[in-house]
Chain A
């Protein structure tokens, strides 16, 4: 191995990730600048305004403007960095999470970019094998634990759960802040592991490769994941208690929006499964440091034990990464179809069906690993069954569109994109649950494409849809609709082009974690890389226009979408205490009427026509 080349290429990978971080930091600083600009606007301007002539009309206007500006909300109560880093306000902590996971997304995305560029040629022209192995490990670890798992729960869940149930905050606000600090601490460990040499075990840390054979920073990275796990556990605990104890009067379980149901189910999984991950990582630590034989057969351990423990966490973790996305979509679709969600109870119970059966299917990652034949059969049939609740959801979302009054705004485009991509991802899961077919597809790009459809096509699309949908509430500003639609379409097209060819690659036998491949596969890989570049543009678009909207966006009204749900009944952005008066709930969720929406639309267009006619005169 040419050492200097190797060093050069790992330096290059490090530089890229550092570059990504710096780019992200620039984005954050511009966001903060936008916020400070608003501060200047709201505080300086009234003083500087000269007491000129006092016409009653102008006075009233000024008063209204000042009243609007000085309405205290969670963003303008205080502007110091300290006030952000010590805030126990669930909304501010959600913003902290949003900024930090965006930074991690940029690091993970930079790794993915190099991976895709490397795979554009069959011979592995860009980085050395060792570097490539570190890159896909970084990509996996960062994207799973530092982006996907906290994405919807810790950002949108943190922001919305108290608002949706009419509470002033989560049950344990300080614990919530502690969760974020643990997350950042874990992230720092992992980041240090990356920049001081990286990890090359794959995000799965399979033994005995990770405990005996790898010479990279396994312990540091595992420590990062271990610590972040506690952040997940605390967040889950907080959400469970909040949902049980802090619902507004009249808000019974079956009046809860589905986002709360899915967040609750996700929290259950977080609390029940994550400790197993912690134990597993601890065992890796014991074996790697003290050579206690747990997984390595040369020490008397069992390598399959690790896979059982790891997937016992990591398969439910897949549902941590998709259930909240389903919750987001269940909010968006009724709102933009102006319809009650079709079969609310079936969708709610399907959520719990997924969470429950999701704990019993981990063995489908091990059909060729050497587990017993009958064990594999049991896991196979359970894996087929876990697909059923997902199918129920897809059918019910689709039926919600029937006889609706549909508007295709950006959040709706994202939500419909989610249904399409999630359906493809779910259906390709059937191939992998079918025992004989999985034998040939296991560990190939078919699996890669399958879970990227679920996690990226599903969860990231839902996350972005949710960010757009609640952006007026979060920031108090409207995002530019045209750019929003453009980003949704770009992401959909880019995603399809990136990952559809990978199904074919997997079927042909291209294996995951290969840094070079059969030249016959190049055409499909080039398609995939081309799609990835479109996808990258799609992901950068929202980053730019959402940041710009903080300064230039139209001010958002309390309820720009005319949506039901308690979070829309408080100003945008909400005050620190969320609600002036604790709301009392008397109705179920999604109380929309398509016919009323049509009448309103007709009245609006009639009014516009009259105005136009008037202006022509």
Chain B
């Protein structure tokens, strides 16, 4: 299974230029009346066909027949060729209203049914399912717990219902049942039906809490991806600088940590097939993580009601094999990396004036600070994680480092949420440069080497930019 994307899709989202969220609910929605849909999604020859330039509608995976050729040329060819075969199969069971009716639609329906039966891949991707796909490492563990609780709940509910019906029949007024000496209390029974549920509840609690700890804390070595939620879109940025809107490309088999922040109201990042959900708050960062196990396309939703177009704040995760991911990363013109962009801001905003490596009188040096404990003036010690750095930029007076005066001005309202994240990425890169062991050890396959190389060179560049600008600034 290969995943390819035409250049059109990337160029419109890569640099964050696409102003309109991309339609996301499949072709049936597209053909009809998504108000925010890009204009040409209405313009196919027939309503069930979709122009290849619409990124969200392209087949997430092909049948594996194309093995060679550059990704660019391949995807262009596919966009045209696959449309006739694969796309109709992905038309939903509820075709759009303006689609053909009568005999034609019935034939199309039969054809769709045949395809639906013939293509397991289709069944996996679309169509009615009784349970969501298990596409992350955590999903089977959550599901095991889900089904266990379902079993216990069904057992209790059915026995209560059975007893009620049984008693109502047996002891209906006028029946010949024995009613002598009805008991009014039974301490053994009470103890049993308090004790057993307590034990059951506690064991479910322990089990659920253990899985939760693993959902809450990302394993070391995860790829960090920065996510900004705003009414009503997701902006995602890879450390290498690739930006995406409402789309996220990730490799399978590697943990991916999302560092989430909101520019306006509370949102919530939800990928049902990964069983992860995390609220995205304004003014602070939260994190969640996942490790995709199967290549494919998975829906992103905003789960926390966030205003008018909450229902349209959706997107896709594209999980792809490592090699494809790297190809994806290296394709097209990427802008400067997040850290480099952060370095530029670091200069532009005058951070280096106080925080510079040679200038530690007014402010602490930030070299190697990421992930280290920081003593505060109120005698607390905090770990300098994403949230700490984020807060220190926006609310510098909240947690002042011991030995320094609270002189730093707040940058709240002066810089965007994305810029905060870029600065954070830059500060992180300072830490990694300072001889700390590279935490992102390549996992599985030799394919990741290039990414690491790229990351290193990105950091190098960022560092150099900083040094050069610092030198200039001090004169």
Interface residues of A, Cβ cutoff 8 Å to B: 1, 122-124, 129-130, 133, 200, 202, 204, 206, 208-209, 212-214, 296-298, 300, 302-304, 337-340, 342-346, 367-370, 373, 376-377, 380-381, 384-385, 387-388, 391-392, 394-395, 398-399, 401-408, 416, 419-420, 423-424, 427-428, 430-431, 433-437, 439-440, 442-444, 504, 507-509, 511-520, 522-523, 594-595, 597-598, 601-602, 605
A212 to B306, CA, bound (A): 12
Expressed in whole angstroms, the Cα–Cα distance for A280 and B149 within the complex equals 36
Given the known interface contacts A298-B283, A401-B171, the answer about A520 and B182 at a Cβ–Cβ threshold of 8 Å is no
A-B contact pairs, 23 of them (CB 8 A): A122-B25, A123-B33, A124-B311, A206-B266, A206-B305, A209-B307, A212-B265, A302-B283, A368-B278, A370-B279, A370-B284, A388-B197, A405-B179, A406-B167, A419-B164, A427-B157, A430-B153, A437-B142, A437-B145, A507-B132, A519-B25, A520-B126, A520-B128
Contact residues, B178-207 vs A (CB, 8 A)? 178-180, 182-186, 189-190, 193-194, 197-198, 201-202, 204-205, 207
Residues of B in contact (CB 8 Å), total 102
Q: Is A509 within 8 A of B307, CB to CB?
A: no
- Nearest B residue to A412, CB-CB: B168
Q: How far is the CB of B382 from chain A (nearest CB, A)?
A: 13
Restricting to B242-296, which residues have a CB under 8 Å from any CB of A? Answer: 264-266, 268, 270, 272-273, 275-279, 281-284, 286
Say which residue of B32, B145, B303 sits within 8 Å of A511 (CB atoms): B303
Closest chain-B Cβ to A590's Cβ sits at a distance in Å of: 9
**Besides A368-B277, A423-B161, A434-B205, 14 other CB < 8 A contacts?**
A122-B25, A204-B305, A297-B283, A337-B171, A342-B183, A395-B160, A401-B163, A401-B168, A405-B171, A406-B172, A419-B164, A439-B275, A440-B142, A440-B277
B168, B282, B413: the one contacting A208 at CB < 8 Å is B282
| A439 x B308 contact (CB < 8 A) | no
The answer, yes or no, to whether B127 is at the interface (CB within 8 Å) is: yes
* Assembled-state Cα–Cα distance A404/B131 (Å): 43
Whether B281 contacts A598 by the Cβ 8 Å rule is no
Asked if B311 contacts A380 (CB within 8 A), the reply is no
CB of B209 within 8 A of CB of A408, answer: no
B272 contacts which of A200, A391, A427, A508 (Cβ < 8 Å)? A508
A356 to chain B, nearest CB (A): 16
CA distance A515 to B152 in the complex (A): 34
CB distance from B214 to the nearest CB of A (A): 8
Asked if B114 is an interface residue, CB under 8 A from chain A, the answer is: no
Bound-complex Cα distance A508 to B186 (A): 43
CA distance A405 to B174 in the complex (A): 8
B residues within 8 A CB of A122? 25, 28-29, 94
- A564 CB to nearest chain B CB (Å): 14
Q: Which listed residue (B128, B156, B171, B201) contacts A384, Cβ 8 A?
A: B201
Docked pose: A403 CA to B193 CA in angstroms: 20
B residues 212-267 touching A (CB-CB < 8 Å): 212-213, 215-217, 231, 264-266
Looking at the assembled complex, report how far the CB atom of B261 sits from the nearest CB atom of chain A, in whole angstroms: 10
Q: Is the CB of B173 within 8 A of A129?
A: no
Interfacial chain A residues near B277, Cβ < 8 Å? 368, 439-440, 442-443
The answer to whether the Cβ of B111 comes within 8 Å of any Cβ in the partner chain is no
Shortest A103–chain B CB gap in Å is: 27
CB-nearest residue of chain A to B126: A520
Residue pair B29, A343 in contact (C-beta under 8 Å)? no
Residues 118 to 148 of chain B near chain A (Cβ within 8 Å): 126-132, 138, 141-142, 145-146
Bound-state CA distance A338–B184 (Å) is 12
With A202-B305, A213-B231, A434-B208 given, is the CB distance from A123 to B189 under 8 Å? no
A376 near B212 with CB under 8 A, answer yes
Q: Are A437 and B146 in contact (CB-based, < 8 A)?
A: yes
Q: Is B197 a contact of A391 with CB atoms below 8 Å?
A: yes
Q: Is the CB of B142 within 8 A of A520?
A: no
Q: Does B309 contact A (CB under 8 A)?
A: yes
A370 touches B286 (CB 8 A): yes
| B177 interface hit (Cβ, 8 Å) | yes
A504 and B172 alpha carbons, distance in the complex (Å) = 36
Which residue of A202, A303, A373, A433 contacts B213 across the interface (Cβ within 8 Å)? A373
Q: Are B201 and A430 in contact (CB under 8 A)?
A: yes
- How far apart are the CA atoms of A227 and B142 in the complex, in Å? 43
- B204 near A605 (CB under 8 angstroms)? no
B106 interfacial contact with A, CB 8 Å: no
Partner of A373, one of B25, B216, B273: B216
Which residues does chain A contribute within 8 Å of B74, judged by CB atoms?
A: none
B93 within 8 A of A: yes
Contact of A436 among B29, B145, B395 (CB under 8 A): B145
Cα(A399)–Cα(B207), bound, Å: 31
Q: Which of B29, B272, B283 contacts A519 (CB 8 A)?
A: B29
User: Could you say which of A369, A424, A436, A520 contacts B208, with CB atoms under 8 Å apart?
Assistant: A436
Most buried by A among B156, B193, B208: B208
Cβ–Cβ contact B194 & A392, under 8 A? yes
Contact between chains at B215 and A392 (CB < 8 Å): no
* Residue of B whose beta carbon sits closest to that of A201: B305
Contact A303 B182 (CB under 8 A): no
Assess the A401–B164 pair: CB atoms within 8 A.
Answer: yes
Q: Which residue of A lies closest to B29 (CB)?
A: A123
Query: Of all chain B residues, which has the CB nearest A382?
Result: B205
List B residues 61-78 near A (Cβ within 8 Å).
none
Which chain A positions have C-beta within 8 A of B157? 423-424, 427
Q: Which 6 A-B pairs have the closest CB atoms?
A: A297-B283, A509-B272, A436-B211, A435-B212, A434-B208, A401-B167
Say whether B299 faces chain A, with CB atoms less than 8 Å apart: yes
Kindly name the residue among B129, B172, B282 whose own CB sees the greatest number of chain A CB atoms within 10 A: B282
Residue ID in chain B nearest A133 by CB atoms: B308
Question: In the complex, which of the residues A369, A517, A518 contacts B279, with contact meaning CB atoms closer than 8 Å?
Answer: A369
Known: A408-B172, A439-B277. A403 touches B178 (CB 8 A): yes
Instruction: Let me know if A519 and B286 touch, CB within 8 A.
Output: no
Min CB–CB distance B347 → chain A (angstroms): 26
User: Is B109 an interface residue when CB atoms closer than 8 A count as contact?
Assistant: no
- Interface residue? B405 (CB, 8 A): no
**Known contacts A392-B194, A439-B212; is A406 also within 8 Å of B275 by CB?**
no
Inter-chain CA distance A533–B212, complex, in Å, is 39
Is the CB of B412 closer than 8 A to any CB of chain A? Answer: yes
- Partner of A303 from the list B130, B198, B281 (CB cut-off 8 Å) is B281
Does A339 contact B182, Cβ atoms closer than 8 Å? yes
A133 to B309, CA, bound (A): 9
The CA-CA distance from A408 to B172 in the complex, in Å, is 8
Q: A405-B173, A598-B174 known; A208 and B308 CB under 8 Å?
A: no
Give the complex CA separation of A514 and B314 in angstroms: 11
Task: Please state if B171 and A406 are interface contacts (CB–CB under 8 Å).
Answer: yes
Q: Considering only CB atoms, which chain B residue lies closest to A595 in the complex?
A: B179
Does the CB pair B168–A416 fall under 8 Å?
A: yes
Partner of B93, one of A420, A516, A520: A520
* Most chain A C-beta atoms within 10 Å of own C-beta, residue among B193, B205, B283, B305: B305
Contact (Cβ within 8 A) B305 A420: no
**B193 near A416: Cβ-Cβ < 8 Å:** no
Considering the chains assembled together, what is the distance between the CA atoms of A282 and B205 in angstroms?
37
Closest chain B residue, CB of each to CB of A306 = B266
- Contact between B131 and A507 (Cβ–Cβ < 8 Å)? yes
A342–B184 touching, CB < 8 Å: yes
Q: Is B426 an interface residue (CB 8 A)?
A: no
Question: Nearest chain A CB to B311's CB is how many angstroms away?
Answer: 4
Smallest beta-carbon distance B287→chain A, Å: 9
Complex-state Cα separation, A519 to B146, whole angstroms: 25
Nearest B residue to A596 by beta-carbon distance?
B179
Hey, which chain A residues are within 8 Å of B406, CB to CB?
Answer: none
- Taking a contact as CB atoms under 8 Å apart, the answer to whether A213 and B264 are in contact is yes
Q: A408 contacts which chain B residues (CB < 8 A)?
A: 168, 172
A402: which B residues are within 8 A, CB to CB? 167, 171, 182-183
A391 surroundings in chain B (CB, below 8 A): 193-194, 197
Q: Say yes or no: is B2 at the interface (Cβ < 8 Å to chain A).
A: no
Q: Is the CB of B208 within 8 A of A380?
A: yes
Contacts of B152 in A (CB 8 A): 430
| Residues of chain B within 8 A of A296, CB atoms compared | 282
A343 near B305: Cβ-Cβ < 8 Å: no
